[in-house]
Structure 1
């Protein structure tokens, strides 16, 4: 950017150059240019390749200084700045300048990011992923009447009559990024309801969820019903099964409908709660219930099958049940699942 600073220089090359960059982008914004035009103007000003990417759609604009599309093989970014809208990061802009960054590069990108956010807000549908939690709660509430629900969905950017699916998620990744990952192309909205992230979308790709996330997925249809299913499915997730589709639960979903007090007072569930004081015993029982096989459980635990057999004998005595009997593993699995559901019982607002 040294050449730019000299070209725009007055008494103070940096200050004069900075002021001219600000005025340059103010003019572009008044002219209501689109993203390609914004990229072309920026590349000419910066005298290097300029790039712009929107997270939600995956759209990328890369322009060379002559106004033509940049070569397919990008150079490393010399300077990068996020595009933010409504306090959400919706994309990135960058310069591909050979050699070190110039003194005005960051300012240029700051103004480019502001202008790009303005373009997206003006022309882009469903501008951001994060939504007003009150609207999301109205859309998924079982108590809302259909007219209010339809209005909430319309305000969230969903077309009338299009089935909306709901995902209930817990993830260390920001919720807006989770939303754009699982629905990179279609309308998607997200909000935190209670302690659970809610993602509404017309289509979901669970395979794109981050590895450390846990998610329950409801079926397509009414968002209120899909939310209840997704919230229930989330309760069945665990380290071995971080993503659960409600439709795959079958009769197991009935466990989520049982009164908490009845589950807590069940002798088998109470025995599992006591067993949980020893994580190794709990892990052994979980592996055995998940596989139904002593040898396969030993493979998962990286132990000899004789060691797992001895552990299961001890666990069976602690639980007061014979885990080798025909109904033993099923009984233990039901108790283990019911105990886990207690730990993730939804609050009244969720």
Structure 2
């Protein structure tokens, strides 16, 4: 919006002043200014004395303050108000603001006093603290970095705390509502709570979280599919939300809960934000072993196995005995944390090699 206003100002030079006034007061709101800061900033912008009168709630007493362009408080008026506006919140008048300009009005005075009144209304409006659900939502779908840090503080979570997202959805929505699994509070970081978003239920869980057999049985009996994201710090958890949804999409009747860690480099197929390779255990471990001569030999063996399809074909292409190929693959599997030579892991192993080869 700010960029758009400036582009409009370039097209119409007369509106440039209006744009600056709007942006000036919007900045005060974004920075959480109080009425004293509002007065000082307004007096400096107007280059004359400005004032504010606030009616204290439930009392007839009025709190009146005035300030000159140098930031000095001026209890005695030098000129009568040249322009004033009421401060109104929900049709209730909370007071008024004014400027005391000697002589004729300037072209932007009306806009300036309007923005003073609007900003004062925002400052004086009773502020409702966000709920834990709102903080959780703002952490998963942040507007900016400030929203992330505010949500972390509101939930009592250190920004660097490792966390994961669990995305839950029913196989069919005929029952109505959004399906969810009850996650133990011990597995939930800080005060985070589950939220509904886009027809699914999202839970923030600890970075060490792993589904128990009981939880998997419950998901299966409830016709629920769930996915657990890769791990990330709380301040960056929004960047790996897509991997929770991708993992959920891979869940089935036999495996109702899928951990993104078990998908390895296949997580790079998840739509949405770019996934940092350092978050994928397969790639980190494969890169570590690839820095050694023996590790390169093991990776080359896996490459030959994936291309040929069988142990014997891989052995023939490498002029090795098939037992030597099997031994190498078993050693590589032990290092990267999954069986690279099984049918169900072929896509995972292939994706890992494609990423390594692309570097």
TM over 0.5: no
Which of structures 1 and 2 has the bigger CA Rg? 2
Q: RCO (CA 8 Å, sep 6+): is it higher in 1 or 2? A: 1
Q: TM-score, normalised by structure 1?
A: 0.32
